Structure 1
């Protein structure tokens, strides 16, 4: 039996993603064979494609940072899962495929009454947002925060989770995406406007408690300047390899001055390599919130798994509010 995957063949635009055919083999003793039901498409996939993501494997490889799927075969040494279990995994790569082979320590069971396409968005975007809010910033009820790039996958996850924490949220995004942001309970501002910083300073005379920045470049300095004493900027953007280095340098520089504020760079891949347990623990917590209908990921577009190239092109267009999800044919 054959199955298909979308392979990144070389550095470049969406056109370098090519469909290949593979032989479907039994899993190794310590692995499970998973039929992929849903896979999110994110900015990290784009960073890998252009060659500036530090945790990408050697090309050619199959991108796809997070999946939800159903176990169809199990290795002889796997005891904690069974055939038919639906599972979620932070794969980092490998998700643009009809099938994937994974070790059980990377898997979390998905509750029965949760949609696969919504669950897959929790794995990267929501875990990133959740950990930044709860583990990095340790936000408290009533805190005042700014989210840049608020209409993207992590941005909308931050907005959704901020409601649960009763935070006062300022959200920076393109004008045509403000309706979505307002519906999520935040105060939208146009990043093309010249007075959004002045507006925040007028409304928040003491400054903001936290800034969550996914744009980088000049927004690091701008966001940092809006913090009150004791405030923190949390950076999570990967604009480019050089941009990432520039962001790290800026954060180091900002932290070198004793001004009562600080900045930190958050990267989920690095966190996962250091400690899988917190990522998987937080994913389980988020799946419970989704099961209980306390959060609702925004899905802008659903596409077949093998149309990953078109999905990447759409994401790069900047026209998406929310998330793009690749789905198996039976879920379309």
Structure 2
């Protein structure tokens, strides 16, 4: 596909386009880390865009009210704390109630939006404190297209994505917490019999995912230079689809973080390719929808085939 786009546009493999794609997937990549961990546990969280928006709005509003002049560290810690607190609400509900996590997080998503737009009367903030702008403008290097002279900056924000992916990889592969997440997604009853504390694992998982989502929200706000309450809304399905496209079983227990990241890269490449080819916006949505349906359908068939094999072995 990449070769076809390169042949048609001549711009796909240019340094500046590659950098632009890396920049475009920072937020979706961070969201995908959290979505991957929840899906592996056998759940689905659709509240993370609203959770991130509420966390970031509160911190940005505080920063403007107090005329904050420090660096980004304090707002980052505050955003993570608020995200973890809101995630704790998700974790408490999911761990205590025998209701689908998707239904519960759909409810908390509405609660978060209601608090932001109703109680706080959130509106668009056109200017951000200096620390937010500096955080977004820090660059690792500049890539230039030799033919057109167009340049693109590789933001230091990309290192945040790398750090979060590495930490999540370590947690999922080398810690008991990660093993518990996989075990719960594979078979919750078996996980209980194996000695895993299912309720506590789910609770702390959603706390962690809330903190991760809030970081993604802060980065998006810094990238755009404005705080818009609904900027992230509607991104949850695309993120979840990217994770499933990467081979993560929607039923939980099976999948790798590497695959989830590759799924995110694939979605980013397709979006970028359609733009380079000049495909109208409404057709972009159509092609992405077809890709998601086909990809998730293949993943579902693979899971069903594996389950049938297991049934055959037991018999």
TM-score range (shorter-chain normalised) is under 0.3
Query: How high is the TM-score relative to the length of structure 2?
Result: 0.24
* TM-score, normalisation: structure 1: 0.23
Q: Which has the higher contact order (CA 8 A, sep 6+)?
A: 2
Q: Which has the higher strand share?
A: 1
- Higher helix share goes to which structure? 2
